[in-house]
Amino acid sequence: MRYLLSLLFITTFCFAQEIQNVDFKTLTADVEIDQFNKSVSGKVTCEFEVKEAVTTIKIDAINMTFDKVFVNKKEVEFFADDKQLTFIDGVKIGKNSVTFEYKAFPKQALYFNGNGDNLQIWTQGQGKNTSNWLPSFDNVNEKVIFNLSFTFDKSFYVLTNGKLINKDFKASKTKWTYEMKNPMSSYLVALVISKYEKLIINSNSKIPIELYIGKTDADKFESTYKYTKDIFDFLEKKIGVDYPWEVYRQAPVRDFLYAGMENTTFTIFSDEYVVDAVGFNDKNYVNVNAHELAHQWFGNLVTAKESKHHWLQEGFATYYALLAEREVFGDDYFNNELLKMAEQLRDASLQDDNPILSDKASSLSLYKKGAWALFVIQANIGESKFDKAVKNYLKKYQYEIVETDDFLAEIKNVSDYDVDAFKKKWLENAFFDWNEAMSCIKDSKFMKDYLAVRQLEEVYFINKKANFNAILQQKFFYPIYQEVVYQLKDVPYLDKREFVFQLFALKDVKAKQTLAESFQQVPKELKTEFETMFIDNSYINREIALYRLWTTFKEDRQKYIDISRSWIGQDYNLKFAHLTLRAITYKNDPVMRTSAIAELEQMTKEDFNSTVRQKAIENLLQLNEVTDTVLKSLVELSLHQKWQAVKFAKDTMRELIKSSDVKLRLENLKSLSTLSISSRIDYFLNE
């Protein structure tokens, strides 16, 4: 490696990028991924303009190695440390180019999961992490047109940002080449390599929407991506600005760090949202789908200048996702979601003293208070003026960076709304104004009906029976029925019996769920009602019914075990319920119990995603089965890339290791383990 001699004094030299004088225009990369060594290598060419003389030019590159750097096609000296590639030789005022080859073994941002046909490679660069695998620009203010090529095994899909313009087949590999027409921030660069099934639909505006799903989940296409076209068409019309890119694609990946990520033209989301028609009623992708798509305008087209203004991305995406859900699920859903958010924010504001306009603002504030702040503006100036201001804002600052005052200026341009007072109350104050929030939704029919039921909470049961009868004779959105259930919870069963049967008769999945949860023991006359829940369009309902019936009717436990034998559910919730209850039911039958434990142990291993592995371990621990498999699986899970899994594994192991027996068994496991597992065991033993 060759170094700039003038940069050897790195302890006193400033490497701050002089962004105002250096403007990177394009980054073209030809990259190859090595899944066996978990490395990435490639050739990169950047075109940039120098406006005035500069002392350094840098490209962010975390722990990368470089052999040669060429500026304007001439080899130059350079300096590379564990964070940046820095050069200056050969640079001139005006247009320039720099070309180099690099190699990296990323510790974050690029993840390798599984192997063989189950191999998945994916990125998550939110914040400033893309430079761990692709030399790029951590500062969001540096927007660049990315044109990326990737070479990999021909049996896999390789997906990234932009429009696919070429696939070059070379023996056992394929080179996929994509192009972008407009600039974006580096944190929005994405890569997914996996085996998928593919479906293309078109928006009303003829934008191709590419939908991907794992080959074994092909029958879940429709339920997973339900309403996708409706959401796209609604947002494009509501926002009033054409979708700003040439294509839109979405793909689920295993063990993703978040629910989803809005990479430009390409949303990556967690495969936990891959559902069938029944699972859709318990947990679905609709909100995440709408949220990440809204980011294509709010965050990708216009980008917040700094974290202090991050609500311009998350608040907007949250609000417009809720508007899209209103289009799909109706006004009652919309107002109920606003109410739930308001209650969260009211309670949180008692302890959270960081306002939205703060580097320390919580996610709850950025997302949900940000959404509420936008709703308050719209409620005060009217929907048409609000829509006009948003449209003007996006048009004026497209492909640029923004701050809060840029948006508020557009509100001021279309109305006489006091944006200064709004900013002080809603953005610079941690207090959540409950009264103003409620004034914005109190006139909706749902809110009037719901609050009328809530007001019965302190009324004696005998005095509100007539009210409950009247409510259960009408068709309402499910939270109103849930509120009736909550108020009946402590009423003796015989006194509330008539209402229980009426609630079951409603056949409302959510109301039945709340009702079933309110019983610890199932009254004998409700046994049939609970058993009918085995065919509800909800895996959660089926699970609740199984547990409640198994607990209450001991003589029928074997029957319920047999009924649930082939159940799977969503995220294996029904399989977990069956195996756990089977292990308990047959605690004196070594064969039946051992087989149930063995199945649970198998689900702690790397073939399953971290959520399933964690749940399997939890079930085994509840059964007091602290086996060697459980201990090894916990150690492996503590090395996972998903922080939630790591935290669970560490916390659990620290409790278990208090036992001298567990310590001894861990010592024995060391000799049978790989170096990484053995080192991790030492980590726990020596804490």
Q: What is the DSSP string of 133-199?
A: TS-B--STT--BEEEEEEEEETTSEEEESSEEEEEEEETTEEEEEEE-SS-B-GGG--EEEE-EEEE
Q: Is the Cα torsion angle 156, 162, 165, 168 positive or negative in sign?
A: negative
Q: What would the pLDDT profile of 235-284 be if each residue is shown by its tens digit?
A: 999 999 999 999 999 999 999 999 999 999 999 999 999 999 999 999 99
Q: CATH homologous superfamily for 195-296?
A: Neutral Protease Domain 2 (1.10.390.10)
- Tell me the CB-side half-sphere exposure of residue 437, using CA atoms within 13 A: 25
The pLDDT value recorded for residue 9 is 31
In eight-state DSSP terms, residue 608 is: S
**Euclidean distance between CA atoms 259 and 382, whole angstroms:** 32
**Euclidean distance between CA atoms 668 and 662, whole angstroms:** 10
3-class DSSP assignment, residue 612: helix
Q: What would the pLDDT profile of 548-602 be if each residue is shown by its tens digit?
A: 999 999 999 999 999 999 999 999 999 999 999 999 999 999 899 999 999 999 9
Q: Taking the chain, what is the end-to-end CA distance rounded to the nearest angstrom? A: 40
**Euclidean distance between CA atoms 546 and 37, whole angstroms:** 46
Q: What would the pLDDT profile of 314-345 be if each residue is shown by its tens digit?
A: 999 999 999 999 999 999 999 999 999 999 99
Query: Over 76-88, what HEC string results?
Result: ECEEECCCEEEEC
Q: What share of the chain is helix, strand, coil (3-state, %, to 5)?
A: 45, 20, 35
Q: What are phi and psi of 252, to 5 degrees?
A: -85, 145
Q: Is the Cα torsion angle 617, 622, 626, 629 positive or negative in sign?
A: negative
Residue 369 has a CB neighbour count (10 Å cut-off) of 30
The pLDDT value recorded for residue 510 is 97
The pLDDT value recorded for residue 335 is 97
Q: 564-687 sits in which CATH class? A: mainly alpha
The pLDDT value recorded for residue 4 is 39
CATH topology of domain 1-189: Immunoglobulin-like (2.60.40)
Q: With residue 317 as reference, give the H or E element that holds it.
A: helix 311-329
Cα–chain center distance at 537: 25
User: Residue with structure tokens 């941690």?
Assistant: 430
**Euclidean distance between CA atoms 49 and 206, whole angstroms:** 35
The pLDDT value recorded for residue 2 is 37
3-class DSSP assignment, residue 96: strand
**Euclidean distance between CA atoms 495 and 236, whole angstroms:** 53
Q: What are phi and psi of 422, to 5 degrees?
A: -60, -45
Which ranges of the chain have pLDDT less than 70? 1-19
Q: Indicate the domain borders of the chain.
A: 1-189, 195-296, 302-443, 564-687
**Euclidean distance between CA atoms 254 and 609, whole angstroms:** 6
**Euclidean distance between CA atoms 31 and 176, whole angstroms:** 10
Counting beta carbons within 10 angstroms of the beta carbon of residue 60, is it exposed (0 to 12), middle (13 to 18) or buried (19 or more)?
Answer: buried
Q: Do the first three CATH levels of 302-443 and 564-687 match, i.e. the same topology? A: no
Beta bridge partners of residue 69, listed in sequence order: 76, 100
Q: 302-443 sits in which CATH class? A: mainly alpha
**Euclidean distance between CA atoms 535 and 529, whole angstroms:** 11
Q: Is the Cα torsion angle 414, 417, 419, 420 positive or negative in sign?
A: positive
Count the residues in the chain. Answer: 687
Residue 340 has a CB neighbour count (10 Å cut-off) of 12
Token representation of residue 365: 């504030």
Whether 573 contacts 545, CB under 8 Å: no
Q: What are phi and psi of 432, to 5 degrees?
A: -100, 120
Helix and strand numbers, DSSP H then E, in the chain: 26, 22
Amino acid at 476: F
In eight-state DSSP terms, residue 357 is: S
The pLDDT value recorded for residue 20 is 76
Query: Over 451-506, what HEC string results?
Result: HHHHCCCCCCHHHHHHHHHHHHCCCCCHHHHHHHHHHHCCCCHHHHHHHHHHHHHC
The pLDDT value recorded for residue 11 is 30
